[in-house]
A and B are shown apart, each in its own frame.
Chain A
Amino acid sequence: MRWRLVVPVVVVLALIVLLGYSLTRSPDVLPSALIGKAAPAFDLPTIASQRDRITNKDLEGNVTLVNVWASWCVACRAEHALITEISQRTGVPVVGLNYKDTREAALRWLGRYGNPFAVVAFDGSGQVGIDWGVAAVPETFVVDRSGTIRYKVVGAITREEMNDTLIPKLKKLQQES
């Protein structure tokens, strides 16, 4: 038996271990250093116009959901319907943070799938995303009335997550004054 002939077996074994591990993963929530802290400051143009600005001050006064997305992100397509549903069921405005994208592609995406966002901030360079600790798209943040991040979901939201965690949390925050 020659060693280089064993290489394929080793590669496939590694692949199987990796895939097996991924099966054990449920879309769990990762702890974030930002939870319990004020939302990082930003001042960005909106997706529709370079002149209109949106800042972290706009998040205060209301419970909001901040959803980081991009038109090139497949997972964002998957969670899109749920984002719409959360907004409809709780009345919480969703602020989009369009991350490392182009205006044209992002607008087309919104046109194609519908726009669930109250407003979308355009972060083409990804600078604000870095401040918010975005490692991956999509990510979703729950921000309370005082502008403090209370909860974070990494990756696409699942239906269970929406029903069991996100919506109860949003409703609870809405009742707090």
Chain B
Amino acid sequence: MIPELGNFALILALCLALVQTAVPLYGMARSRADCLAVAAPAAVGQFVMLGIAFAALAFAFYGNDFSVAYVAANSNTHLPWFYRIAAVWGAHEGSLLLWMLLLSCWSLAVAAASRSLPRDVASCVLAVMGSVSVGFLIFTLFTSNPFARQFPAPAEGRDLNPLLQDPGLVIHPPMLYMGYVGFCVAFAFAITALITGRVDSAWTRWTRPWTTAAWVFLTVGVTLGSWWAYNELGWGGWWFWDPVENASFMPWLVGTALIHSLAVTEKRGIFKSWTVLLAITAFALSLLGTFLVRSGVLISVHAFATDPARGVYILAFFAVVIGGSLLLYAIRAPRFEAGTEPVAILSREGLLLLNNIFLVVAAAAVLLGTLYPILADALGLGRISVGPPYFNKVFIPLTAPLVALVGGAAVIAWKRTRWQAVQSRLWLPLLLAIGLGVLLPWLALGESGVVAAAGCVLGIWAILGALEDVVRRVRGRRVMLPRNVLGMTLAHVGVGVFVIGVSLVTGFGGERDVRMAPGDRVSFAGYDFVFKGTRHVEGPNFTAETGDFLVFDDGDQIAELEPAKRRYNASGQVMTESGIDVGVFRDLYVSLGESLSGQAWSVRIYHRPFIRWIWAGAFLSAIGGLVALTDKRYRRREKLRAPSREHMSSASVQA
């Protein structure tokens, strides 16, 4: 009964999405305010319906209703309850439902904020978002219905993919999807701009916070994904250039470019058509990611169960939405080309232009690498896999100059900056960066290497360049930093921290494969690892061989690690759980390989210096985005509105 209610709610959501799309657009064409006013309530209704559908599916999972095919395929009575809930988005159908629920959350947020927007703009944005929702709802209802029943119902479910049975799964996909889907708001604003023909500073002021919010979610989502892979794959790596990782990374790169180009458009009124194009592209890449993951054209560890019919549908949808948008862009964008004044390179807009070029080229390089296997196949070169060698070779030279630019970001002013001014402010950070950067690997790890030192110099340069501005402002008696400046500083410091982490873990990380019998002692990276043996452990839905390792530093025991080999009962799949001793300056990471003769095991030990800095930097950047969101400019409108509302309510009371 409950699943049927969910299915019915999905159908109602589709009807409401159709209303949300068609009626406001008709209202735009005929200038009818009553039709425009329909958009917001329709968005609210759609949110409620999708919420009901989602709750119904979650309930089916919670109650182990295996007559629902999707539940039977992805759950099991022995699965702990929180994984049963998280299993809702553990495979194709349910993750689509999550996608749509989150899209409707964004629509709801836009509807709630719509009073500060002109009514035609708000309604048009909601209509565009509604049309995206229509596309996905049709897709779900006709090719991937999560509520489909199967009779007779199996007595036991096939269990959730063991790879996904990790706390990371509980929050990684929702965050990632919030980011993906959030770019739909920026996309809808861009389409609205093309329809109404207005890209003014008001438009950018509306678009910026939405884009930043989406970017924050995407940053957190991608970072959590990397952290999850490190914990769960047992490889000690944090990024694999897997097609699905790339699918989330490309919108991130373009979204980052969009945030920066929006700044230029707001402050200087230039780059207008470029900004609109970036907003379309960021969302196009989100959709492309969806296609790549769900169509089966690329082979990946993440690939969902694939079905050619789904691929055809998503591709057609992509063609209509993105092809149509770009066509609209080609027709309408010329009107945004104001009298273009030349941009001085030594100005903030010049710097941001370079930033955009690097980011977009980097995204294009990732796109090429991701699609190359398809291209090679189409050209008859056979089916191939493009691995990390390509991406590292191409990506690092493209991003290193970008990080160098970050250091100068705060110091170089809009319009024009004198070279002497830049010099006088940046010589000290630069010298310090070179000195500290060369010393850091040596001080922290007692090792040195050219590439790692260069990376540290870049990272410290980005941090000091960002801090120089803060120090100067605070000393200049302007103690309260504007939130947007504070946000930018945090984000850029985050970039620096990230780069330091990447350089040191790549430069000095090491691993060893050893055969260890109980009682064996292995010295590695200055630590002694003692293997005590393994013991048998029964989990709720798996059995495990858990190894006991003691780690000594100079004779003192500093950690006890328990890596395990788990065998999941329902699927028979074997998973490696790594044992990690976490530290600010290094992780020690042990994972069990194969059981060898006797009680011996092949054991892999990893030394991962500064790896936490990678995620810390990324989270710091995300926090920077959050801080920027609280900037006064975005709150001022609320304040203006509040008294008028009070006024209205008191007036109604009097009446």
Contact = CB atoms under 8 A, between A and B. Distances in A.
Contacts of A104: 511, 513
A16 B317 CA distance: 11
A16 B319 contact: yes
Nearest to B383: A155
Interface stretch (A7-15, A36-44, A88-96, A168-176): A7-15
Interface in B293-327: 295, 297, 299-301, 303, 308, 311-312, 315, 318-319, 322-323, 326-327
A137 B384 contact: yes
Given A9-B327, A23-B308, A73 B295 contact: no
A155 B378 contact: no
A75 interface: yes
A62 B402 CA distance: 57
Nearest to A24: B308
Interface stretch (B29-37, B51-59, B329-337, B535-543): B329-337
Contacts of A137: 384-385
Interface in A3-47: 5-6, 8-9, 12-13, 15-16, 18-23, 25, 27, 30
Contacts of B371: 15, 18
Nearest to B389: A72
A1 B331 contact: yes
A114 B592 CA distance: 11
A19 B327 CA distance: 19
B375 interface: yes
A154 B385 contact: no
A23 B378 contact: no
Residue from A6, A30, A112 whose CB has the most chain B CB atoms within 10 Å = A112
Interface size class of A (residues with CB under 8 A): 35 or more
Interface string A121-141: 000000000000001111100
Contacts of B240: 74
Contacts of B378: 18, 21-22, 25
B574 interface: yes
A108 interface: yes
B640 interface: no
Nearest to B309: A23
A12 B377 contact: no
B468 to A, nearest CB: 38
B622 to A, nearest CB: 28
Nearest to B384: A136
B330 A18 contact: no
A6 B513 contact: no
A145 interface: no
B536 to A, nearest CB: 20
B297 A5 contact: no
Nearest to A136: B384
A167 to B, nearest CB: 20
B445 to A, nearest CB: 21
A101 B628 CA distance: 45
A78 B377 contact: no
B376 interface: yes
Contacts of A70: 387
Contacts of B277: 8
Contacts of A107: 513
Contacts of A25: 377-378
Contacts, number: 124
Contacts of B508: none
B382 A9 contact: no
B131 interface: no
Contacts of A112: 233-235, 576, 591, 593
B450 interface: no
Nearest to B236: A108
Nearest to B244: A74
Nearest to B311: A23
Nearest to A73: B385
Residue from B291, B300, B374, B375 whose CB has the most chain A CB atoms within 10 Å = B374
Given A9-B327, A74-B385, A112-B234, A2 B334 contact: yes
Nearest to B284: A12
A31 to B, nearest CB: 11
A77 interface: yes
Residue from A15, A19, A77 whose CB has the most chain B CB atoms within 10 Å = A19
A175 B417 CA distance: 82
Interface string A81-112: 00000000000000000000000100110011
B84 interface: no
A12 B284 CA distance: 9
Contacts of B576: 112
B443 interface: no
A45 B490 CA distance: 52
B330 A74 contact: no
B655 interface: no
B330 A6 contact: yes
B166 interface: no
A100 B447 CA distance: 30
A16 B593 contact: no
Contact of A16 (B297, B299, B308, B323): B323
B273 interface: yes
Nearest to A109: B235
Contacts of B387: 70, 72-74
B381 interface: yes
B156 interface: no
B383 A136 contact: yes
B327 A75 contact: no
Interface in A144-164: 154-156
B465 interface: no
A109 to B, nearest CB: 9
A155 to B, nearest CB: 3
Interface string B363-399: 0000000010011111001111101110000000000
Contacts of B594: 111, 114-115
B315 A16 contact: yes
A176 B313 CA distance: 46
A72 to B, nearest CB: 3
Contacts of B327: 9
A136 B315 contact: no
Interface string B228-270: 0000011100001011000000000000000000000000000
Interface string B218-233: 0000000000000001
A16 B316 CA distance: 9
Contacts of A65: none
Contact of B374 (A2, A9, A19, A114): A19
Contacts of B297: 19, 22-23
Given A75-B299, A135-B382, 15 more contacts: A1-B330, A5-B333, A6-B330, A8-B281, A15-B288, A23-B297, A23-B308, A70-B387, A75-B385, A111-B513, A111-B602, A135-B384, A154-B383, A155-B383, A156-B299
Per CB-CB distance, the 8 closest pairs between chain A and chain B, nearest first, are A155-B383, A72-B387, A136-B384, A111-B593, A135-B382, A136-B382, A73-B385, A9-B326
